[in-house]
Amino acid sequence: MWLIDSSIGRKLIMSITGVFLVLFLLFHSCMNIVVIISPAGYNAICGFLGANWYALLGTSVLAAGFVIHILYALFLSYQNMRARGSEPYAVKSSQKGVSWASRNMLILGGIVFGFLLLHMYNFWFKMQFAEISGIKTGNFDPADGAAYVKELFANPVYCLIYIVWLAALWLHLTHGVWSALQSLGLNNKIWLPRVKVISNIVSTIVILMFMSIPVYYLLGCGA
């Protein structure tokens, strides 16, 4: 199959699903930051998402793209490992122009995926699924998501793990966003530097919005 067998096809799949990942994160970072601005507003957003099938469908599509991106990356990495056999990795750490993030995208992706599972358990399963299904999955009111967020981030260890995850996510995004756009055609000498700057700005804004939540509770502002 062309999409799997050709390098262009593989890059296209990773680029398109990577866009889904960015949109998913951008949407959720904008939504999540509301919890420290207005808990009532956050609960209203959660209620809206849980009560509308089109909102659930849209979120599911973005999440599906996210999952496909991760699984396909693992598949490609496995193929590359089989092709190399016992040969060392072709790109040396000292090679000019090759960033640490680009050499370790699989490791960063693994960290992101691992914490994503924890995040989905804590928020999607315990909040959204509980509200939609009516099955209680935690010792709190699923309609009061803001109170649950406050309780969860009252644990400094969880906050620090969250911040480490965000650091890995930032490194993954700063390389992945411009790489995806480059694969989709923005690869000339004029636009590529601009694309890198834009991807770094977008990635940083998304991560700062996410990071503001654990920092907010670590500083005791939500007490």
Q: Which tens digit of pLDDT belongs to each residue from 106-143? A: 777 777 777 777 777 877 777 777 777 777 766 777 77
Give per-residue pLDDT as tens, 27-76. Answer: 888 988 999 999 999 989 888 876 677 777 777 787 787 778 777 777 77
Least confident of 91-95, 170-174, 214-218: 91-95
In SS3 terms, the chain reads as CHHHHCHHHHHHHHHHHHHHHHHHHHHHHHHHCHHHHCHHHHHHHHHHHHHCHHHHHHHHHHHHHHHHHHHHHHHHHHHHHHHHCCCCCCCCCCCCCCCHHHHCHHHHHHHHHHHHHHHHHHHHHHHHHHHHHCCCCCCCCCCCHHHHHHHHCCCHHHHHHHHHHHHHHHHHHHHHHHHHHHHCCCCCCCHHHHHHHHHHHHHHHHHHHHHHHHHHHHCCCCC
In a domain, 206, yes or no: yes
Task: Give the domain extent around 59.
Answer: 2-83+105-218
Predicted TM-score (pTM) of the model is 0.75
What percent of the chain lies above the pLDDT cut of 90?
A: 12
| Number of domains present in the structure of the chain | 1
In a domain, 49, yes or no: yes
In a domain, 96, yes or no: no
